[in-house]
Amino acid sequence: MPELPEVETVRRGLQPAMEGSRILRAEVRREGLRWPFPPGLGQRLKGARVERLRRRSKYILADLSTNETMLLHLGMSGRITLSGLEAPHVPGQFHHQHPAPEKHDHVIFHMENGARVAFNDARRFGALDLIATDRADAHPLLAALGPEPLGNTFNGAHLVARLKGRKGPVKALLLDQRIVAGLGNIYVCEALFRAGIHPARAGGRISAARLERLAAIIREVLQEAITAGGSSLRDYRQADGELGYFQHSFRVYDRAGLPCPTPGCADHISRIVQGGRSSFFCATCQK
DNA sequence: CGATACACCTGTGTGC
DNA sequence: TGCACACAGGTGTATC
């Protein structure tokens, strides 16, 4: 589900509820998600203050006062919902009115400031782990990740170096988190459309000039999506329950059969399956 | 090494 | 209304 813009939107929404506040109690309502939760999870979180909420790729990282970092991944269907947020009289203080837990609320954080944060994930492809903060970068799920697409080290030269000699379709290569971290199916489709690159084109057979443009477009699309609060399809919502609205800006994703949005193009959007994932593109505009 | 298939799991939409 | 099936924003693991 959530790709980089959605995760970043969730992180920003959680900041006022979590950063600087203590976890009075972590209500752990099942044994694990994709993997078992770490041993003693509830006890290790109890009383910990969240010093900082960060994001790396599609992971939310909460640095705790216990010198541990909690790592969250939303998988395909993960959501985080906040309650107790209505019109605080004092900034940072939240009301203590909370709804009953919903189906698939697996972990609920009861914060000292009155906020309640529920990690909900119907399909349970998500993850939650704890690791020593000074070794967080070495966590097995983070260690091999490529550069942040919105960071300083991601550019055309990086794509040139990483795609050189690769025979596989550029679509699959951009989904490979070791090459660039944070893209998913939606934003790869959208970026390839804007860059005029066919998703089936071999990664190693794209000119440096086109990859330079692709890198800039990836940043542009992600930035626009963050500004829009992400894309709300089925179950994604921002932490405060608001819907993102970038889905209204999709040019190709989930638009098979609809007219190509390029002015003057008479073609329609195609759908193919690559590596088991749908790819959407215009066969006229993307070569 | 690289490319591909499969696994995990629930919910929703579609066609009969 | 029921049922079978396809499909969904991800990614680790196994297999050539």
* 3-state SS track over A143-212: CCCCCCCCCCCCCHHHHHHHHCCCCCEHHHHHHCCCCCCCCCHHHHHHHHHHHCCCCCCEHHHCCHHHHH
Instruction: Kindly state the tokens that stand for A269.
Output: 């959007």
Q: How far is CA A5 from CA A18, A26, A28, A54, A117, in A?
A: 19, 26, 27, 13, 20
Question: Is the domain of A218 the same as that of A262?
Answer: yes
Give tens-digit pLDDT for A11-35.
999 999 999 999 999 999 999 999 9
CATH number at residue A15: 3.20.190.10
Q: How many domains does chain A have?
A: 2
Is residue A160 in a domain?
yes
Q: Which nucleotides of B are covered by protein (CB under 7 A)?
A: 2-12
Question: Is the domain of A72 the same as that of A21?
Answer: yes
pTM: 0.95
**Nucleic acid strand B within 7 Å of A104 CB:** yes
Confidence grade of residue A91 (pLDDT, cut at 50, 70, 90): low
Any idea which nucleotide's C1' is nearest the CA of A275? B4
Is residue A230 in a domain?
yes
Confidence grade of residue A105 (pLDDT, cut at 50, 70, 90): very high
Question: Is the domain of A79 the same as that of A200?
Answer: no
Distance A97 CA to C2 C1' (A): 40
Is A86 catalytic? The answer is: no
**Nucleic acid strand C within 7 Å of A13 CB:** no
Question: Is the domain of A94 the same as that of A209?
Answer: no
Question: Is the domain of A161 the same as that of A277?
Answer: yes
pLDDT of residue A90: 64
Distance A89 CA to C5 C1' (A): 52
Distance A147 CA to C15 C1' (A): 28
- What is the domain range of residue A271? 156-282
Mean pLDDT in chain A? 93
Give tens-digit pLDDT for A114-166.
999 999 999 999 999 999 999 999 999 999 999 999 999 999 999 999 999 99
**Nucleic acid strand C within 7 Å of A233 CB:** yes
Is A46 catalytic? The answer is: no
Give tens-digit pLDDT for A93-104.
666 677 899 999
pLDDT of residue A92: 67
Is A277 catalytic? The answer is: yes
Is A2 catalytic? The answer is: yes
Is residue A241 in a domain?
yes
- Out of A56, A58, A116, A255, the active site residue is A58
Distance CA A219, CA A222 (A): 5
Distance CA A97, CA A76 (A): 29
Q: Decide: A251 and A190 in contact? Cβ < 8 Å.
A: yes
Is residue A287 in a domain?
no
- Out of A3, A6, A8, A190, the active site residue is A3
**Nucleic acid strand C within 7 Å of A8 CB:** no
Is residue A98 in a domain?
yes
In this complex, the residue with its CA at the shortest distance from the C1' of nucleotide B3 is A168
Is residue A240 in a domain?
yes
Average pLDDT of span A188-209: 97
Question: Is the domain of A161 the same as that of A219?
Answer: yes
pLDDT of residue A37: 98
**Main-chain phi, psi angles of A80, to 5 degrees:** -125, 125
Q: Give residue numbers, 54 to 83 of A, with CB < 7 Å from strand C.
A: 57-58, 73, 75-76
Average pLDDT of span A233-252: 78
